[in-house]
Amino acid sequence: MSYYLSKLLKNIKSPKKWLISIVMYFYRWFTGYWTDQFFGFINAFGRKSSALPPVQNPLLLDSALSLAAKIRKKQVSSVSVVKAYIHRIEQVNPILNAVVDQRNAEALEEASYIDELIASGEKTEKELEKQMPLLGVPLTVKEAICVSGLLFTTGVVRRRGIRATEDADVIQLLRKAGAIPIAVTNTSEQCFWMETYNNLYGRTNNPYNLKRTAGGSSGGEGALLASAGSVIGVGNDIGGSIRMPSFFNGVFGHKPSRGIVPNRGHFPPTEQVLQQYIGTGPMCRYATDLKAMLKVMSGPNVNLLQLDKKVSINNLKIFYMEDDGDGNFTLPVAPGVKNAMRKVISHFRKICDVPPQRVQIKGLKHGFKVWAHVVSAKVSNVATVESRVFGDDCNVSIWKEFLFSFFGWSDYTFPVVATVLVEKYLAPKDKSAAEPFIRIQRQLEKDFQNLLQDDCIFIMPTMPEPAAYHYANYLRAQNCGYVAIFNVLGLPATNCPVGLDDNGLPVGVQVIGGLRNDHLNLAVAREIEREFGGWICPGPIVG
């Protein structure tokens, strides 16, 4: 409340700013404080929070690189690792609802083959490391990305039972590197929303508090990773769908530079005009695995990056903002998130030769509107949101579905139908309406190009607040501007966990590098993990 009052007092001398401040005061109070109170009350009548089963198998606490090394050295078998994760999924999934399909028998068969290959001595340990750096390591994948034989619906009721007939390009690359897909994870319907729920598989819960969101649209992946049900995963991100759930679930998530990782094999299919905005990327519990995954997932484009280039953290120039520049519709940064930011900046102030510099990039406060207008302008040239959501079903009554979805009676979720209505009736019909925001986008591109040289990093919050109560984000879509803006800018962006807040919810920061300087992001992520501990298990660890 004190934040809102300070804004009112600050603008008291300007009648126009005073009026705007009053409107924003009530808007933020309604979408922030009041919404938390209301949905906290609603969720109080839902399922009680329960602690996850303890992590008992030490294999579940190893990084993917550590597991691969142990498997190559015959210290553990791939079969034992895969079995450990299958068992962990059986333990946590009834609580989280994160996994929608598995391939246990096939995965164990592939693990057995890998163990036999290693035992044969056909390849040396060094050859295996070079050719298959993830050999024998289990992998989970967002269900919007096809894994041959597994469900491939993206939570769409009319796609019930549809299975992938082939692997997406990125899954082919990871298989070639020795990874073993074991499951696909829940997503929001058609990847449209910032909370993972749909009317096909239901809602995914946050492992740190079951009454809270796991985020979206890669929320199933984020929740499973955080609960030690997976060690490495694959998500995709056109408006923050990797970084947002990574933030809410306290794991690492990286959206690569534009045009690096192949995006073929997704549903909904990504139109060519949007390929520059979507990023398929790694999600994992340990920062040390980000580089290995990105090297594999980049395929032939890996040479466009400098992932093996040595980074001297001390020589980096750090720029930062503690919020988005006070966007009118985004919520103020929560104390726990601000504290995480300040701890990270304080650390780099101690170790960097040049002290971190606070900057003010004005266009960031328009992040959500820039993203929405730029992406909508591109999509409108290909298809409407209505046609993408309802497909060939011409008999759908939008207003009926809107009413029914509000009560959970529709095949479509409320955010999806609401998006259709906004586009159909409220969105500007004249494409020129997007021009002011395209100009802001271009200015932001110039600002970051000037700011982020080859030894520079920009840090800001990933989101302004930790995981909200389920459904509270109905009124907080604008908060996505914190992450979505970097999709339209094409820059590499990484969520890094920095502990828990006073409510036991994960908080963290977003690390941004210059175009194709992903290696700087990953180096900073490793440093943040080293200093602040990275992932924190939401349940007990035994032994």
Choose the catalytic residue: 7, 142, 255, 365: 142
Q: Which two tokens stand for residue 482?
A: 């914190």
Closest CA to 287 of 342, 238, 231, 361: 231
Q: Could you tell me if 168 and 146 are in contact, meaning their C-beta atoms sit under 8 angstroms apart?
A: yes
The answer to whether residue 142 is catalytic is: yes
In degrees to the nearest 10, what's the CA dihedral of 163, 165, 169, 173?
Answer: 100
Closest CA to 220 of 199, 234, 239: 234
Q: Which two tokens stand for residue 340?
A: 């995480």
Q: Other C-beta atoms within 10 Å of 160: how many?
A: 13
**Residue 103: C-alpha distances to residues 47, 86, 264, 277, 411 (Å):** 29, 10, 22, 31, 27
What is the distance between the alpha carbons of residues 412 and 390, in angstroms, rounded to a whole number? 9
Q: What angle do CA 476, 477, 479 make, to 5 degrees?
A: 75
- DSSP 8-state secondary structure symbol assigned to residue 34: I
Choose the catalytic residue: 77, 148, 188, 217: 217
Closest CA to 534 of 61, 58, 216, 195: 61
**Residue 179: C-alpha distances to residues 114, 404, 432, 531 (Å):** 10, 42, 47, 29
Choose the catalytic residue: 21, 63, 241, 405: 241
Closest CA to 405 of 245, 99, 218, 189: 189
What is the distance between the alpha carbons of residues 127 and 132, in angstroms, rounded to a whole number? 8
Residue type, 28: R
The string of DSSP letters for 140-197 reads EEETTB--TTSB--TT-GGGTT-B-SS--HHHHHHHHTT-EEEEEE--SGGG-SSS-E
Closest CA to 142 of 280, 304, 19, 331: 280
Of the chain, the end-to-end C-alpha distance in Å amounts to 44
**What residues does 494 pair with on adjacent strands?**
254, 511
The 3-state DSSP class for residue 506 equals strand
Q: Are strands 506-512 and 493-500 parallel, antiparallel or unpaired?
A: antiparallel
The answer to whether residue 126 is catalytic is: no
Closest CA to 179 of 295, 89, 265: 295
Q: Other C-beta atoms within 10 Å of 193: how many?
A: 28
The 3-state DSSP class for residue 500 equals strand
Q: Which two tokens stand for residue 357?
A: 């510099």
**Residue 363: C-alpha distances to residues 11, 438, 446 (Å):** 21, 11, 11
What is the distance between the alpha carbons of residues 445 and 351, in angstroms, rounded to a whole number? 29
The answer to whether residue 429 is catalytic is: no
Q: Which residues are catalytic?
A: 142, 217, 241
